[in-house]
Chain A
Amino acid sequence: MIEVKDLTVRFGGVTPLDHVTVEFAEGTNGLIGPNGAGKTTFFNVLSGFVRPQNGDVTAFGENLLAMAHFRRARWGLRRTFQTEQAIEELTIFDNVLMVLEHSSRDGASSREEQVLNAISFVGLTSSPYARVGTLGAAERRLVEIARAVVGKPRVVLLDEPAAGLPDEETQRMGGVIQKIPQEIGATVILVDHDMSLVSACCAKTAVLDFGKLIAAGDTSEVLRSDQVKRAYLGADAEVAAA
């Protein structure tokens, strides 16, 4: 359970997040909105890259904003980025190991086993010891997901994980994302523009527009709401934010 209360971020005259109050339940949550709505800024606040002017974020009863950014991975927060960030020079194995060794909380099973489990969880078919530089776009995206799920994370933030992928790869990605809450035990927040992916993966969805929360609830209802349609169809700010 992630509780966001009155979260506000301002960059000069721009307010990417404007008094946002929202809750994300266990399972997979969607976070959608037109470009510039504040979705990535919200992820950046959770990651600690952006310091909010106001507001609290409580995750599983702990104040997330009080933690140093690089310690949040150890606490159990993971994320992917809009532009894929798998490390080309390293192997798939080393990519995943890199995250595990810097964020591992328990030494229950061996690191090698945890890494290989994460790789097989996302269904990568290439050898774990292939260099990421030799992989295609879809596989690199899966490497990122493997990095996000290794070592029992509590919260996984996925920022457009299927951006630029063809439909069948997006479906495959959706299948992996859907498994995360149950098999990994993490709460997922998924940002994407692909509504079919969001509705396939997420029971609940929140909608941001111009930094304000305009809708939150069951995904199907949210996607049907007029306000959300208006926001996506590019109505002007007053109408959308009303």
Chain B
Amino acid sequence: MSAAGATTSRSVRRVWLPRLDAGDRLRAVIIAVLLAFIVIAFPQLLSGYWVTVFTSVTIYAVVALGLGILMGRTGLVSLGQIALLALASWVGARLFFATGLPFPIVLLGSGLITMVLGTLVGLPALRLSGLYLALITLMLAGAITVVLTATNFPNGGGGFLGHVETDRGAAAVRRPAIAHGDTAYLRYTVIVAAILFLIALIHVRAKPGRAWAAIRQSEPAALAGGVNVTLYKMWAFALASFLTGVAGGLLAADSGQLFITTFPTSDSITLLAVVLMGGIYSLWGAVVAGLLMQFLPALLNNWGVNADWLTIIFGIGVMQVLLTAPQGLVYQFPRDMAKLGRRALGLVGRVRQPARERAG
């Protein structure tokens, strides 16, 4: 290539690298401060009930992150993520009861085993896409739920299934020695989730993330660019399943005793709705999705409102997001707040702007 090109490029690079580093550094500092607040101060402010709610929020944010990787980044629709979470909880609980391994190792094992299982579930994705893939994953979710209803979750019993019917023999999944209490366990969960978000971020910013973006744009164009589409689709399923697997391990130790009623198949669809609302292209969207899925029902319960209303609210919410801000609430909220602020400032002596300007 031309020598002139090379010189221009060097000057461009000098301009660019510090700029990006500064932005990234600032972002990292903000996130670190936020994380420190959530880990250190936040649990102190919460009563017992809200501590468990926010533990669930954190766990479901990780599950939402997995779906975001599949759908937002790679364009693979999955309606089976909650069933996969149930499977992961089963695996996690089984590992906790079967081994005396340290808690983090069991989490890792739960993640890796679920990764293998989830990737197998993802095999149809290599041939299917869109509605058909959604249907297949929903069917698989149903199948997993049926099987887990029959086998129940491990509670300290013997044999492969590890389940005893009587209350006498039943035991709770243990928590890490350093995080027995609910507050300590919330902190533990947030730290594990932060590590998982970091793993996802590294993937998205690196070669796999670019390959996924290419696949989502167009499979033929990705192939023409040399992307091994099969490999990277499997990779997306593997990462999403790993994240869900670790979340399942966390959930097992969070609830102690697991029941299939925690994982209704319809929750997989709700998860898709909240992920869409939160923002499917953003890692922050997964945090919002976790809040919508676990915090909002708890809030309604607290107010004495039937949480079934959420199905309707989420339905309207998804429609609202798809129509006015396909990128989700994480983009829409700051944008609308900024707009509101500008409007409030410019209100004096001004003709009011139409309420809903076209999204920029």
Contacts and interface: CB of A to CB of B under 8 A. Distances in A.
Contacts of A97: 210
Nearest to A90: B213
A49 B223 contact: yes
Contact of B226 (A87, A102, A113, A128): A102
B1 A89 contact: no
B226 A47 contact: no
24 contacts: A49-B220, A49-B223, A71-B226, A72-B224, A72-B226, A79-B224, A81-B218, A81-B221, A86-B217, A87-B213, A89-B213, A94-B213, A98-B225, A101-B210, A102-B225, A102-B228, A114-B1, A116-B6, A116-B9, A116-B10, A116-B13, A117-B5, A127-B12, A129-B16
A117 B1 contact: yes
Contact of A113 (B6, B20, B229): B6
Given A117-B2, A117-B9, A118-B1, A129 B229 contact: no
A113 B225 contact: no
Q: Which 8 A-B pairs have the closest CB atoms?
A: A73-B226, A116-B9, A103-B226, A102-B226, A85-B221, A120-B5, A98-B210, A117-B1
A85 B221 CA distance: 7
Interface in A154-196: 183-184
B206 to A, nearest CB: 9
A120 B210 contact: no
**Chain A contact residues (Cβ within 8 angstroms of B): what range?**
35 or more
Interface of B: 1-2, 4-6, 8-10, 12-13, 16, 19-20, 207, 210-211, 213-214, 216-218, 220-221, 223-229, 281
A74 interface: yes
Nearest to B20: A129
A20 B17 CA distance: 50
Contact of A94 (B5, B210, B281): B210
A125 to B, nearest CB: 11
Given A81-B221, A87-B213, A90-B210, A116 B5 contact: yes
Given A78-B224, A81-B221, A98-B214, 9 more contacts: A70-B226, A99-B225, A102-B211, A116-B9, A116-B13, A117-B6, A120-B5, A121-B5, A129-B19
B47 to A, nearest CB: 41
B211 A120 contact: no
B220 A87 contact: no
A5 interface: no
B2 A183 contact: yes
Interface string A44-61: 000111000000000000
Task: Identify the interface centre among A48, A102, A113, A128: most chain B CB within 10 Å of its CB.
Answer: A102
Contacts of A79: 224
